[in-house]
Structure 1
Amino acid sequence: MLSSHGSLGISSPEATTDTAITPDSEDDVATEIIPKEEDADEQALENRGDAKPIAAGDADAAAQPTPRKRGRPRKHPIVEPKKTSHARSKTGCGTCRRRKKKCDETKPYCMNCEKNNVVCDGYEPKQPWRSGKQKALVIRNQIPAELPLLVDGVDGSIDQMFFRHFTTQVGRVLSLTDQQNPFLDIIVPMAMGHVGLMHSLLYLSGSCLMANEPNTRADWEERQEHHSSKAMLLLKEDLASLTSSGETAVATIGDPSIAQTLILCLQTVCAGDLTGSYRHHLNAMKEMLMIRQGSFPNEQLRRFILEFLLYHDYSSSITSLSNPLDGRSLALMKGFQLPEYMIQPQAGTLLGVMDGLFGFISRIRQLRDQIRQRRAMGKEHWWDTPIIHDAFVIDNELRAWECMHPPDSPRYAASLLYRQCTWIYLYRTVQLSRPSPTFKQAVDEGLRYLRMLPRETDDGSTQSILLMPLFLLGCAAFEPEQRPEISAAFQRLQEWSSLGNIKYAKAIVEQVWQMMDEGREEETWDWETIIARRGWDFLVT
Structure 2
Amino acid sequence: MHRKCSEQRPSCEYCSSTGKQCSYDKVLKWGGRSFKKSCFGQVLSTGAVVKQSEKRSGSNAPYQQPFVYGPGADDNGTSTTTLPTTGPAHISGLPTWTGASYSKPPSSNGDVSPDQAASSPSNATPDTESAYITSPSGLTVASNGPLNETILDVDDVSCDTTPDPAVVDSCQDLVLGVTQQDATSSVDLEVNLDWLPWLSKVDRSLLNHFTLTVTSYLSLHQTMQNDFCTVLLPMALDTSHGTHLLSAILGLAAIHQISLGSYNDEAYLAQLRYTSLQQLRLQSIGHSAALDEQSIATALTLCLCDILAGGEKPKSWRLHLQGAATMIRTYFSRHPPNSGNILVLWRWWKSLQSLSVLLGNPTPEVNTKSALTLEPPNQNHYIDTYDGFSTKLHPVIEEVDMLNAESQALQKLEATLGHDDPSVKVLRNAHSTRCATLIEKISAMMDDPVTELDPASSSATPFDPSSDYFSLNEAYHLAVMLQVYQRAMNLTVTDTRVQEVVKRGISCLRSITLYDFASPGVATLQPLFIFGCAAHEEEDRRFVMDWIERMRRTYSLRNTDSAREFLLELWQERDSMGSMGAQLQYHQLLAEKDWDLSLW
The aligned amino acid for 1:364 is: V
Q: Which of 143, 159, 162 lines up with 2:110 in the alignment?
A: 143
Q: Paired residue for 2:368?
A: 327
Aligned pairs for 1:16-415 within 5 A: 80=18, 142-147=109-114, 148=134, 155-181=199-225, 182-194=227-239, 195-213=243-261, 217=264, 220-239=265-284, 253-273=291-311, 274-293=313-332, 295-296=335-336, 299-317=339-357, 318-323=359-364, 326-328=367-369, 331-332=371-372, 335-339=373-377, 345-346=382-383, 348-352=385-389, 355-376=391-412, 377-378=414-415, 379-380=418-419, 384-401=428-445, 402-405=448-451, 408-415=466-473
Name the % identity.
20
What is the aligned partner in structure 1 of residue 598 from structure 2?
539
Aligned partner of 2:546 in structure 1 is: 488
Q: Which amino acid aligns with 1:469?
A: P
Aligned AA (1:530): L
AA aligned opposite 1:193: D
Residues 296 and 327 of structure 2 are in contact (CA less than 8 Å); yes or no, is this contact kept in structure 1? yes
1:238 alignment partner, SS class = coil
> 2:571 matched to 1:513?
yes
Match of 1:447 in 2: 506
Match of 1:119 in 2: none
Matched residue SS, 2:509: helix
Whichever residue aligns with residue 109 of structure 2, its letter is Q
Query: Which amino acid counterpart does residue 300 of structure 1 have in structure 2?
Result: G
Alignment-derived partner of residue 421 in structure 1: 479
CA spacing shift, 1:501–1:140, aligned 2, 3 Å:
closer
Residues 311 and 523 of structure 1, relative CA distance in 2, 3 Å threshold: farther
State yes or no: 1:470 paired with 2:470: no
Q: Distance in 2 between matches of 1:482 and 1:433?
A: 16
Return 5+ residue gaps in structure 2 as ranges.
1-15, 21-105, 115-133, 137-194, 453-464
Offset of 1:447 from its aligned partner? 1.0
Instruction: Give the counterpart letter for 1:355 in structure 2.
Output: T
Matched-pair contact (CA < 8 Å) for 1:275–1:536 = yes
1:276 to 1:506, Cα distance in 2 relative to 1, 3 A: farther
Structure 2 vs 1, CA of residues 419 and 412 (structure 1 numbering), >3 Å: closer, same or farther?
Answer: same
Per-residue deviation, 1:431: 4.9
Root-mean-square deviation (CA), in Å?
3.5
Task: Give the aligned residue type for 1:146.
Answer: S
State the match for 2:150 in structure 1: none
Residue 9 of structure 1 corresponds to none
CA distance in 2, matches of 1:482, 1:345: 30
Give how far 1:154 is off.
6.3
Distance 1:525 1:250 in 2: 50
Q: Whose helix fraction is larger, Structure 1's or Structure 2's?
A: 1
**Mapped partners of 1:361, 1:79: distance in 2:** 99
2-structure distance, mates of 1:400, 1:322? 31
Distance 2:377 2:337 in 1: 20
State how far apart, in whole Å, the 2-side matches of 1:79 and 1:305 are. Answer: 81
Shift of 1:202: 0.5
Q: 2:558 aligns with which of 479, 491, 500?
A: 500
CA distance in 1: counterparts of 2:580 and 2:374, whole angstroms = 39
Shift of 1:445: 0.8
- Cα distance in 2, alignment partners of residues 199 and 432 from structure 1: 45
Secondary structure at the counterpart of residue 142 of structure 1: coil
Residues 491-530 of structure 1, C-alpha deviations (whole Å, 9 max, x = no match): 1122222222221122222222123322265575432231
CA distance in 1, matches of 2:322, 2:288: 12
1:346–1:301 CA distance, 2 compared to 1 (3 A): farther
TM-score (norm 1): 0.65
- What amino acid does structure 1 have at the position aligned with 2:344? F
1:218-243 C-alpha deviation (Å, 9 max, x unpaired): xx22332332222223323332xx5x
Q: Distance in 1 between matches of 2:474 and 2:555?
A: 22
Cα distance, 1:289 vs structure 2: 1.5
How many residue pairs were aligned? 396
CA offsets 1:15-51 (integer angstroms, 9 cap, x no match) = xxxxxxxxxxxxxxxxxxxxxxxxxxxxxxxxxxxxx
Q: Helix, strand or coil for the counterpart of 2:513?
A: coil
Alpha-carbon distance in 2 for matches of 1:176, 1:315: 15
Runs of 4+ aligned residues of structure 1 deviating over 6 Å after TM superposition are: 149-154, 249-252
Q: Do the aligned partners of 1:186 and 1:301 also contact (CA within 8 Å) in 2?
A: yes
Is the contact between residue 251 and residue 292 of structure 1 (CA under 8 Å) also seen in structure 2? yes
CA deviation after TM superposition for structure 1 residue 374, in Å: 3.5
| Cα distance in 2, alignment partners of residues 396 and 437 from structure 1 | 17
The answer to whether the 8 Å contact 2:296/2:324 transfers is: yes
| C-alpha distance in 2 between matches for 1:375 and 1:153 | 61
Deviation at 1:412, TM superposition (A): 0.9
Displacement of 1:337 in angstroms is 3.8
Q: Decide whether the 8 Å contact of 2:307 with 2:559 is kept in 1.
A: yes
Q: CA deviation at 1:297?
A: 5.6
Contact 1:319 1:539 in 2 (8 A): no
CA change 1:427–1:360 in 2 (3 A) is: same
Q: Deviations over 1:43-64 (max 9, x none)?
A: xxxxxxxxxxxxxxxxxxxxxx
- Cα distance in 1 for residues equivalent to 2:490 and 2:112: 72
Distance 1:485 1:452 in 2: 13
Q: 1:349 to 1:184 in 2, by over 3 A?
A: same
- Residues 410 and 453 in structure 1, CA contact (< 8 A), matched pair in contact too: yes
Contact between 1:265 and 1:281, CA under 8 Å: does it hold in 2?
A: yes
CA contact (8 A) 2:337 2:343 kept: no
Which range moves more in the overlay, 309-318 or 481-490? 309-318
Q: Give the aligned residue type for 1:164.
A: N
Kindly indicate whether the alpha-carbon contact (under 8 Å) linking 2:365 and 2:405 is maintained by their aligned counterparts in 1.
Answer: no
1:129-157 Cα deviation digits (max 9, x unpaired) = xxxxxxxxxx9953342344668896322
Distance change >3 Å, CA 368–CA 254, structure 1 → 2: closer
Structure 1 gap segments, 5+ residues each? 1-77, 83-138, 243-247
Which has the larger Rg? 1
